[in-house]
Amino acid sequence: MHHFEYHDGRLCAEGVDIGAIVEAVGTPVYIYSSATIERHFEVFRALLGPKAHVFYAMKANANLGVLATLARLGAGADVVSEGEIRKAMAAGVPAERIVFSGVGKTEAELAHAVGVGVYQINIESEGELEALSRVASRLGKTQNAVFRVNPDIGAGGHAKITTGSSANKFGVSFDEATRLYARGSNLPGVRIVGLAVHIGSQILAFEGMAEAFRKMRGLVETLRGEGHRVERLDLGGGVGVPYEIPVPFVQGPDAIERYAAMVHAVMDGLDIELGFEPGRVIVANAGILVTRALYINQRADRQFLIVDAAMNDLVRPAMYEAYHEIWPVNEPAPDAPRIAYDVVGPVCESGDTFTTGRQLPEVRPGDLIAFQSAGAYGATMSSTYNLRPLVAEVLVRGKAFSVTRPRQTYEELIGLDRLPDWLA
């Protein structure tokens, strides 16, 4: 569910006309709905139960306004860098609700995490275990940590977002988990309290997840049988969202319900603290990217619709062949003629293509269109490629909107560089 609908012929975000936002901010611009973010988080938390710990995976969308909205609901944060730790805390997420994941944490990052007192560090290799022990001991601290285990069960909507296969870089191998757990339990500076798993992203059929979770439950029972303390099991994230509308049942809005039912069935009777790291499922459908049509380039066999957004603003179609619904900001008539467009951006890459042969109501230069379901892995993956300033971001609540990240100016963009002394 989302809160982007037509009212009196105009696309609105909650109670705000998209055109009014564009008039104030320009294009391209990301627009997020507070009501959608809040609803998705509350539904997820309610279905997983009052004892579940929910750590929002902020790599999906690290906008300060989005983070603060979730922090006020009691969400924790799943982070993968020191920068994300700092931004989560700046948004109001306390350190004791932060989980630090990632395969390549530096000792400086580990020191920062230990120093501020994060809830948990997810260890992903034996070398990282040793580094954490060394850093925490030097600081005179004991840090709660779990081992992220690779169950050799991968899933996800694309090969690049599948993380649970033995061919992927994430986690310690399942076969090594018991040895490492015993070793970690005897190292100074580290308190090993459990396990973690995450097998991929944009998962809409949960058989693979269920298999991985059953495997993790068995590992918990094995470790406990060997006398180890196993208090926490972090089940990661990965629940997918419907990008196409309409969608078949498997991609319907009941995905969270089916996921929760699966978790409860697999974990029934296991006395353990469960953690979850949803990202995309909270924010994807809470955001749109609005862009303006610039030109129509007519060819013999196709029409290129050139817009002012580009792959540096929304890279998912170029990187993952991802699909996004495209809606005109002015509501088309039901019988409006439809034309096949290749929707492309201004970047000097043939890969700067959002879609090919998409049937859309006729679009003219100057018209506004919106890429739907762009709230996850949109702005957070944006860049300044071709020296295009970072895209603006806006958060809506009811009838009010606020610019939460101003569009980068050219002075700010160029000012990041420094000339060497010999060229100054």
Tell me the pLDDT tens digit for each residue of 56-75. 999 999 999 999 999 999 99
Residue 11 CB partners (closer than 8 Å, separation 6+):
4, 5, 17, 18, 327, 328, 329, 330, 331, 370
The DSSP secondary structure of 54-85, one letter per residue, reads EEEETTS---HHHHHHHHHTT-EEEESSHHHH
Q: What is the mean pLDDT of residues 177-193?
A: 96
Cα distance between residue 177 and residue 147, in whole Å: 8
Least confident of 41-55, 143-157, 185-199, 308-322: 143-157
Q: Of the candidates 307, 373, 376, 321, which has an alpha carbon nearest to the alpha carbon of residue 351?
A: 321
Per-residue pLDDT, averaged over 18-45, amounts to 97
pLDDT for 249 = 35
* Residue 245's pLDDT band (cuts 50, 70, 90): low
Smallest CA-to-CA distance from 305 within 265, 268, 340 is with 340
CA distance from start to end of the chain? 54
The reported pTM is: 0.93
Q: How many Cβ atoms are within 10 Å of 181's Cβ, its own excluded?
A: 24
Q: Is the pLDDT of residue 157 over 70?
A: no
CB atoms within 10 A of CB 97: 21
**Cβ neighbourhood burial of 122 (10 Å; 0-12, 13-18, 19+):** buried
Task: Compute the distance between CA of residue 267 and CA of residue 275 in angstroms, rounded to an integer.
Answer: 12
Distance from C-alpha of 304 to C-alpha of 296, rounded to nearest angstrom: 6
Instruction: Name the amino acid, one letter, at 369.
Output: I
Q: What is the rounded average pLDDT for all residues in the chain?
A: 93
Residues carrying an active site annotation: 348
How much is the pLDDT for 251?
38
Q: What is the pLDDT of residue 389?
A: 97
- Residue predicted with more confidence, 113 or 49: 113
List residues bridging with 162 in a β-sheet. Answer: 200
CB atoms within 10 A of CB 210: 16
In the block, which residue shows the tokens 């890459």? 349
Confidence of residue 171 (pLDDT cuts 50, 70, 90): confident
| Sheet containing 16-17: order of strands | 4-7, 10-13, 16-17
Distance CA 65, CA 72 (A): 11
Rounded percentage of the chain residues whose pLDDT exceeds 90: 86
